[in-house]
Chains A and B, each alone.
Chain A
Amino acid sequence: MLSRLLGPQRRYLWFWVFTGPFVIGLAVFAYIPLLWSIGLSFFDAHNTVTPTHFVGFANYGSMLSDTAFTSSLATFAVFSLFIVPATYALSLALALMVNRLRFARAFFRSVFFLPTACSYVVASMIWKLSVFNGVRFGLANTVLGWFGADPAAWLSTTRPPWYWVVIVTVRLWLQAGFYLVLFLAGLQRIPGTLYEAAAVDGARPGWQVFRHITFPQLRATSVAVLLLLVINAFQAFDEFYNLLSTARGYPPYARPPLVYLYYVALGQGQDLGLGSAGAVILALIIAVVTVVQARWFGLGRKEA
């Protein structure tokens, strides 16, 4: 009996010895809290994780009728519509350039990759305190000063919304290098024979080769990059919070859903039911967008 349970060569035992800790970790740190949170979203759970007052979909109703929450959803939709193509184009362009280098390729690859190792919090602080601070000796304002322009209060001006410049540049700087490395790997997988064949067929180097050889060959990489970018954009929190929050709260502009939930429900005011409802709505949106996108790009289909 025991030997049957253990399996031939005790394989079952070893299977659980190796996978068990990770399964337990995943269950305890991911699945149980996730399911618990979904459960909480149907209760009036102020300052408790074991609520008793069932309220049905009331939390969802009040979250969806909360204009601050819906406008935060719009904020991150706009943000991802902008940041996803921008990062994609920038990292692809950088990858093409680095790939053409004859020497010092490893050096430039590392230089562009380095920001990825920097924490979002640290980068936000540098952007906020030295690059884009609002006084005349900030880096950006010094540059403006050379051209005779007045200093701008980058993070406090809503008309025009200069704060987007700060938010977008910090994220581009932080993540372009990572996707550059993914694209480089993709570029190096394209067989040289394809380019030779194209040259024989009379394709002009440059745009024509890129359009008909390089870009289609990068499809698998592109799909992966886009998926990762979209999910990252939806989860935006770190740089927004650290750039725009003050000791007194967060301004009503450029406020992504996670930041809003943090302030109204999941931080000091522990309205865990409402917060969980907001989190579930957000998770559903991410899931739907990801699935639609994956279908659109045909992720998982066999490459022809």
Chain B
Amino acid sequence: MSEPQHSTLPMLSRRRLLGLSGGLALTGALAAACGSNTGRGGGSSGGGGPALSQWYHQYGEAGTEQAVQRYAAAYRQARVTVQWRPGDYDQQTAAALLTDAGPDVFEVNGPSIDQIQGGQVADLTEQIKNARADFNPAVLAPKTYQGRVYGIPQVIDMQLLYYRRSLLDRAGVRPPQTLDELVDAARRLTTKDTKGLFLGNDGGAGVLGQGGLPLFAAGLQLVTDDGRTGFDDPAAAQTLGKLHTLYASGSLLLGAPADWSDPSAFTQGLTAMQWSGLWALPQISKALGDDFGVLPFPRDGSAGRPAVPVGAYASSVSARGKHIDAAKAYAKWLWVDRTEYQGDFALSYGFHIPARISLAKKAAKLRSGPAADAVRFSTDHGHALPLLWTPKSQVALEDAVSRIIKDGADPAAQVKAAVATANAELQRVRRKTG
């Protein structure tokens, strides 16, 4: 759910894809020769003890890399080498975990159910034990499988709806509280040069499809607590159908030079409302001053509730590392014990909510204005991608939402197809449990 790289688009060539898939076998063969130090990336090192390698994805904000190296250097029980990895980070770690050449401690937009069931990540329940209640439950839940914790949440990223106060006032539109009001507001805010709403260049299929946000707003779930599909319901089709109305009304901005994750379209006045991430708030605030407000995705239907997507990169330990206990101890030291580093990491460089509730409450930058609203949304209305919601289910739902939005496909039939795929996937991961 969290948005790893706000500034760069994912770039990949066929050669690299084939390299990834075909080269997997090779990586295994070479791994024995390489050891845990791959020689890539410069890092810092701290005290004595075993050598650990720690991976981070490349954060866009200046200073983050220096900060994590500073933390690592302060650790005395092991020599920690930090690798800062640009590119398709999730794919890189997924491939590296198949080998012995992978990281010992790594941040991960997961770990995924298959990584946990495959025994690729170590159990961190003991390490998080003393502070478990202090972690935001919405983001800790997807890192937890059968009561055991496999990743320590680092910081929370979330997405929300930004609106331009002055444009809404001029058009006499109230900030929308329901999906119908949002459709209406977008229409009334659309002028010759400004569109009403920007949900991404795909008309919202990506941001609204993959995470199933409109389904949460309709009072449904992706996966129920007992591991079954939670949106096999007529309300799902009804809500998703309204997204097509929005698209067909001509009030959505499409084909902007920078996609939804970047606030440029909003700050440049191409749109009156935009869906984006909390990370964009400092930039918007700088460009527009007080002339903006934030909203969750509005509720729909009688059982509906407002919803925002939340997600967290977690720190996990590879089960194939040479020094698993040392790696666990380091992960605990950095992401459980050293709260001052956690606070610094969340808010000194980028703009994230600390994963610890106590830290989020203390943070001065999150106490007033839209930032405080955002924290409130994330606590009251936050939904993370469930652990059992596999990439295959994500693709299926996103396909369905895209076809509904853009092609005007029959919502009921599309939901049914997505439910079928999700059922099969959930059955697969449940079977492994037994």
Indicate whether A269 sits within 8 Å of B97 (C-beta atoms), given known contacts A28-B26, A159-B407, A246-B200. Answer: no
Indicate whether A242 sits within 8 Å of B391 (C-beta atoms), given known contacts A48-B118, A135-B256, A266-B21. Answer: no
Indicate whether A29 sits within 8 Å of B91 (C-beta atoms), given known contacts A47-B114, A247-B261, A252-B403. Answer: no
Q: How far is the CB of A61 from chain B (nearest CB, A)?
A: 13
From 16 to 46 in chain B, residues with beta carbon under 8 angstroms from any chain A beta carbon are: 17, 20-26, 28-29
* Residues on B with beta carbons closer than 8 Å to the beta carbon of A135: 253, 255-257, 270
Indicate if the CB atoms of B406 and A156 lie closer than 8 Å. Answer: yes
A189 within 8 A of B: no
Please, what's the 1-or-0 string for A284-300, where 1 marks a CB less than 8 Å from any CB in chain B? 00000000000000000
From 392 to 427 in chain B, residues with beta carbon under 8 angstroms from any chain A beta carbon are: 392, 394-396, 398-399, 402-403, 406-407, 417
* Residues on B with beta carbons closer than 8 Å to the beta carbon of A260: 395
Indicate whether A247 sits within 8 Å of B3 (C-beta atoms), given known contacts A47-B94, A267-B94. Answer: yes
A179 within 8 A of B: no
Indicate if the CB atoms of B202 and A279 lie closer than 8 Å. Answer: no
Indicate whether A47 sits within 8 Å of B120 (C-beta atoms), given known contacts A33-B24, A158-B406, A268-B112. Answer: yes
* Residues on A with beta carbons closer than 8 Å to the beta carbon of B22: 30, 33-34, 37
- Residue tally, chain A, CB below 8 Å to B: 67
Indicate if the CB atoms of B11 and A242 lie closer than 8 Å. Answer: yes
**Which of B9, B23, B259 has most A Cβ within 10 Å?**
B9
Indicate if the CB atoms of B98 and A275 lie closer than 8 Å. Answer: no
Indicate whether A246 sits within 8 Å of B13 (C-beta atoms), given known contacts A135-B256, A154-B255. Answer: no
Please, what's the 1-or-0 string for A39-51, where 1 marks a CB less than 8 Å from any CB in chain B? 0000000111110
Indicate if the CB atoms of B21 and A37 lie closer than 8 Å. Answer: yes
A251 within 8 A of B: yes
Indicate whether A248 sits within 8 Å of B26 (C-beta atoms), given known contacts A47-B94, A47-B97. Answer: no
Please, what's the 1-or-0 string for A85-127, where 1 marks a CB less than 8 Å from any CB in chain B? 0000000000000000000000000000000000111000100
B254 within 8 A of A: yes
Please, what's the 1-or-0 string for A6-42, where 1 marks a CB less than 8 Å from any CB in chain B? 0000000000000000000000111011101100000
Q: How far is the CB of B15 from chain A (nearest CB, A)?
A: 8
* Residues on A with beta carbons closer than 8 Å to the beta carbon of B120: 47
B117 within 8 A of A: yes
Indicate if the CB atoms of A262 and B114 lie closer than 8 Å. Answer: no
Q: How far is the CB of A21 from chain B (nearest CB, A)?
A: 16
**Which of A28, A247, A264 has most B Cβ within 10 Å?**
A247
From 61 to 83 in chain B, residues with beta carbon under 8 angstroms from any chain A beta carbon are: none
Q: Which 3 A-B pairs have the closest CB atoms?
A: A134-B255, A248-B206, A269-B391
